[in-house]
Structure 1
Amino acid sequence: MERRIEQEVFPILGEGIDRFTQRIRGILTGLPPQRWVSSEILHYQVIERRAETGQLRLNSTPEGADVYLNDRYAGKTPLVMEQLRIGEYVARVELSGYQTWTRTIQINPDRTAFVHANLISVKRYGSIAIRCNEDDARIYLDGQYKGLTEKNRNVLLEQVEEGFHDIRITLSGYRDWSQRVEVKPNQRIQLTVNLERISRTGSLEITCDVDNAMIYLDGKYQRRTSLNRSITIGNISEGTHELRITKEGYQDYITTVRIYPDQTYRINVRMQPERREGSIALNCNESNAKIFVNGTYMTTTSINQARIMDGLKEGVYEITVIKDGYHTWLDEVWVYSGETTDVYVNLIKISN
């Protein structure tokens, strides 16, 4: 029997209990009974050789990442592996949107290896285009100043990290505009910004030296003046306005006023009487003739150009033209306010 066993390849337990049993049975049944039945005792000690193992606990931030050990998929984080053979392993952790994490880890007998992977996000960028209805408004991205708007033209913010961002547009005298947007990789967001002007008002106080004159602001009738008493017009929007005060018999009073928020602009108006004057343009066929208006000498004629006599109040005037050797010319003319009356004089020589 010893020779039989020596001639066979003795089975190894590492092949498994079932396989070991079959191999032993094959050796023994192949011998005649008298060959293996003996008073001799066969001593055979079966020693189970156990592989040495350890444990692995692997987690990541964020969780849910895929774990590979020596390029073989092992599961998702948080990962717990029992009975892992001792030795070195190359651990690889992968998650979409994050850089791949790789580390060599050592598994020791009957010990637990604790490993944590801090995953670093892969930065991806998009852009934001801002079109505003006003110039020079300030642009803020997540509280950081980025530049000024251009009226009805796009201002582009490039290399904006993907994710949610806060956009704020500010301009003095206008309400702030803000919006939260989501930037996606390789995409552009178009924003249209309509800033609304803040309505701030002041008032205008007018004192006038004539009564019952009509007050207009930016061409719109407001009310009438009161002699030497102030008139107040309220709720006037901030900015520059045209003030006009009119009354028959007086020249129009026109000026520009600047209204500031929560302030009163005061103005004292003195109306000027309207000048109702006209003029006479006298043309004559002879030079050096004397011109009299209502008996008052004014000037002499010129054959080449008309003589203008202005500053005449509206009404009837007697015009006399005298020159030696000529018949005196006399006539009445009507002068109208704001107009020039043309007079043509034809002097006639005196016959001998």
Structure 2
Amino acid sequence: MKWFIIALILVFVLIVIPGFSDTNQSQAGYLSIISSPSGATVTFDGINSGVTPVIIPIPNSSRLPHSITLEMTGYQDWTTTVNKNPDTGSVETISATLTDSTDTGTIQVISDPTGATATCDGSNTQLTPYTYRGLSPGKHEISLSLNGYYPYSTTISVASGAESVISAALSPEETRSTGSISVSSDPTGATVTLDEMQSKITPNTFTNVKTGTHTIEIKKSGYSSYTSTVTVTSGVESEISASLSRVKNTGSLTVNSDPSGASIYLNNVYYGISPIHIDTLDTGIYTIKAEKSSYNSDTEIINLIKGQENTVQLTLSSKMPERPFNRWMDIAPMGIPLGGDIPMGSPGMPPGPR
């Protein structure tokens, strides 16, 4: 039977197609669609194109892809997609074997408003109203979505040979319940942002906030930022009160000395022995002094800048030790020793009795 149908189609191509104009032949190929059993209704790119077997001329410039659906009472719908136009003058055959649907059921999906996107078991996307056919007996999930309306989902049981009906009245989103969020801060005058979109200055209240969880962020120059989540309930005002912590302007300082082990003073306040590192030091002008026994002290003045690591190197010079007085070496002018008798033969004095 199948070969007979194919032969019939070829005869049709050889006899009927030449009746087309030369122009059409030069610009089109052909799709031959057959089914087992024959007599199925063919929908090509959304247009009823007869019953199987059928030949459809396809211009070379036709937009791809092409959608083909075969429907027949008592059988499951059959669908395929064609991603290439037939070559000019050629005939390509599409053969479909339809499956008996006596052991399957259907689901008719209706929505208000119509035009909602429907899926069956997470696939087979269609627009309502639509009837899903050839479904196996058991439970199936139908989901609907439409811009401006709440999503809709339900589970329905399908019986063999029976049709189940879903009629869904979609709810507009604008009817969603709302609440409000009151925000205060210490200090006041901080910028508060709701869900990274809407901003106000504290103290303030966000009204007509959709129910659910939202994020609040509060910022003020010179203070640490504050972030919190809040759950909004229909008709209820939620409150957030934030105490902001001041951020200090600080820097860090490292003091080295040569030699090390010197006592380090900042603005005459002792901080420790070098080398020393000081974190979170308030910014400003500092006089840094290093002292060590037997060394001359060294001092440097710096301007400590916020967020910067400052390093100071101090160099201490050694003190000359004091020599004890030597009456014979510490000679005054004319060779007279300081604080003593004149020795015999001292420089600058002639020899002889005194």
TM-score (norm 1): 0.44
Q: If you compute each CA radius of gyration, which structure gives the higher value, 1 or 2? A: 1
TM-score (norm 2): 0.44
